[in-house]
Structure 1
C-alpha cells in the first residue's frame, strides 16, 4: 500500500519515523504506538500485537469499566496524535502510525472478553484482515475521511473503527451460528 504525501508549501520530503522523531513530541510517541510502529516489517501487525499484549496486561489490574474509560479517552488522544504526527511526517497516513490499530483493537477485545485464546486469535486475525485488505466500508472510509487538517487524524482512525465493527459483526455471527 502506498503512502500519500501531503502537499507542503516548501516541498519538504516526508520524514522517516525514527526513535529520535518518536521522542521529539508526545503525539509522535502515542501515534507510533510507543515504538511498535517503528517496525520496518508490518508495523500495523506489530501495533495490533502490542495492543493485544497491553490489553491483557490491563486486565490484570483494571476492571472492565475502567478499561472502557481508558478506551473512551484514548479515541480523542489517538485522533490528536495521528493528526499531529501525520502532519509532522508530511504523509497523509503513514504506515508507522499504529495508535489507530491499538485503540480500535482494544475496542474489539473489550467487547469479546472474556474470550479464550481461540476467540482472541480469531479477533486478531479478523481485525488484521479487515485493516489490511480494506474490503467494502473500510476502503470507502480510507478514501473519504483522509484529509489535511483537523480531520486528518479521524481519517486515519475511521477505517480502523470500521474494521473493529466488522470484526465484531463477524464474531457475533460466528458465535450465534456456531
Structure 2
C-alpha cells in the first residue's frame, strides 16, 4: 500500500518529521533542493549554538540514524526512496558545510550549487550507487540459513549513501578549486 504523505501524517511520528526534513520534503517542486535549503539554514543555527565537536556528533549520529529513518519511512510509504524523504540531503549538506566552514556566503552558495548538481545529475559512480540500491531486491530466505539483513536497512543505507557520495564529490571539487585558486 502506498501512502501519499500529508503534513498531518509526517508530524504524527518523529522519524517521519525528520525524514521529510521538518516539512521541507512536502514541497511540490524540487523537494531535494528545498530540503537542502532548510538544511543550510538549520546548520547555521546549529553552528551559532553548538561547539564543532557536538556538530560532528550530530552529523555522525544523524547519518547512522538516517539509515533507520529513511528505511522505515520509505517502507511505510511503500516507496523506498520517496522524493519527499530529504533527511539524506540534510546529513550530506551538513557534512559539506562542516568541512568548508568558515566560509563566506559565496563559498556556501558554491557548495550548495555543486551539491545540488551532484545530487540531481548523479554523474558516474553516484548514478551507479543510486541505481544499485533502487533496483536491489531482497533474496528469498530459506529456513536453513541465518536471517538476512532486513530490507529496510539496505534500502535506508541506499537512500543515504548516494547523497554522501554527492557530498564527497562536492568536497573533492571544492578542494581542487581551492588548490587551483
TM-score of the pair, normalised by structure 1: 0.90
Q: 1:9 maps to what in 2?
A: none
Aligned length: 166
Q: 2:159 maps to what in 1?
A: 156
Q: Which of 49, 54, 68 is 2:37 aligned to?
A: 49
CA RMSD of aligned residues (A): 1.0
Q: 1:94 maps to what in 2?
A: 82
Unpaired runs of 5+ residues, structure 1, are: 1-11
Unpaired runs of 5+ residues, structure 2, are: 137-150
Q: 1:40 maps to what in 2?
A: 28
The whole-number CA distance in structure 1 between the counterparts of 2:16 and 2:49 is: 26
Q: Could you tell me whether the CA contact under 8 Å between 1:145 and 1:158 is conserved in 2?
A: no
Q: Could you tell me whether the CA contact under 8 Å between 2:66 and 2:87 is conserved in 1?
A: yes
2:179 corresponds to 1:169: no
Max Rg structure? 2
Matches within 5 A, 1:109-124: 109-124=97-112
Deviates more, 1:19-28 or 1:157-166: 19-28
Q: Could you tell me whether the CA contact under 8 Å between 1:33 and 1:99 is conserved in 2?
A: yes
Once the two structures are TM-superposed, the CA of residue 172 in structure 1 deviates from its matched residue by 0.2
Q: 1:25 maps to what in 2?
A: 13
Q: Which of 81, 102, 120 is 1:132 aligned to?
A: 120
The whole-number CA distance in structure 1 between the counterparts of 2:58 and 2:48 is: 14
